[in-house]
Amino acid sequence: MLKRKTTQFSMHLLLLLVVFVFTGCSYESPAEAINNGWSGEIKVNDVLSRQKTDDGTIVLFTAQDVDKSEKFKKLGFALVTGQNDKSWEFIFSTMIAMTDDSFSARHNVFHYETEKGNVQEMPIAFGILKNENIASVTAEVKNEKKEIEILSTKSGRYFYQVNAWGPIKFLDENGEVIDRYGT
């Protein structure tokens, strides 16, 4: 009888341990996973867009320093993974300051390890557009010039594109280059 109670107790304890391990490593939302990935240095204000990729979900977001030492808000993207809509894990992220310039842009190539141990490369172009004369944004995607979608939200106009290489060109409504980022 005592052995049976001990076995039941052990099974319950094992079940609780498994639940704790799996829930202790994941977060309720992409924003929570990003905040934790930055060790609490930032607070995600808005998730602007999500895009699924083979290795997870790219999240475009705005953020602010927790201690408000930086005067500018930030724009960033992160790669997060999730098994369902309430279990997210942080892989990597980067941000730029949203200045008062006509645009803030960045192009990065990130290297990260997949669950299978392979090293992947992910180029991405992203930024914010303050100049209302910028009607379109282009970059090289898979060796072809491609127009990048501009996301208009209540907080501003943004763009991002996975697999994009520089230079990033900012065009007016006539297709003339107003400015560019990168060479």
Q: Note the pTM of the prediction, 2 decimals.
A: 0.78
Strands 136-141 and 164-171: antiparallel
Q: CA 49, CA 56: separation in Å to the nearest integer? A: 14
The answer to whether the CB of 101 falls within 8 A of the CB of 78 is: no
CA quadruple 27, 93, 76, 99: dihedral sign = positive
pLDDT score of 12: 38
Instruction: Name the DSSP letter for residue 172.
Output: -
CB within 8 Å of 56: residues ≥ 6 apart: 79, 80, 81, 82, 91
pLDDT score of 151: 96
The label of the residue with tokens 């803030």 reads 104
Q: Which residues of the chain fall below pLDDT 70?
A: 1-26, 83-85
